[in-house]
Structure 1
């Protein structure tokens, strides 16, 4: 798996390493080969994520993470060559606030937001209670596997 990180606002290497490990495990969890998979991760400030949230989701407020999947159905992923399955946009400032609210480390929050977004790229959502429960279970499984439990 190849994760392309924006250099601006990028977290420390330990967080990046956990994201790399988590991303690969998310792909494997879905029964896919991680080798050709590419994901783009951009870190933005509160103003930029607010604008993106408003523009793409019609929600006029700051958010923590946005996911932009490239495929509606994973069966449509090409079988040859590298393939970008989507883009992740994370607001580190919002992650820091949430980490404080939830009582865990900023690093854990950043990795969790990435895992959450990876499952969105892989076709999951949390609009219905049943779907939310399934997605949360997968997120917690990955977080546990990489040793970043609550």
Structure 2
């Protein structure tokens, strides 16, 4: 095992050229497992179970049916059936990339109102991570450590 095996792709990706050939070469690198950063959030390539609003929910004046709303790259599919939390209702959204995720109702309502909680267009976490790497945004400490490891390996 070489010293370069310790370097993760998230640190090295901003240092690599971003053309088509480099993308094909880099795609044959090591596999890594990605997971959403927030606890209680679900990210899946398979459709998530949804349910219809209950009569009790429909009777509440504060309840708004968000099904079918499009915000950025996300489309609201329905209420998450299997994901339960104590701090707000989870809704299943589908990104244009085909991934399914859960989002809180307050996030969706804020995006519809124009008060986007994030600085970017609403999208799934995987698309957000990919966009960050394409734009060259990364953790500077990891990038510096990766650069140092590459320089050390070249000696």
TM-score by length of 2: 0.27
Choose between structure 1 and 2 for higher RCO, CA contacts under 8 A separated by at least 6 residues. Answer: 2
Which protein shows a greater Rg? Answer: 2
Which is richer in helix?
A: 1
TM-score by length of 1: 0.28
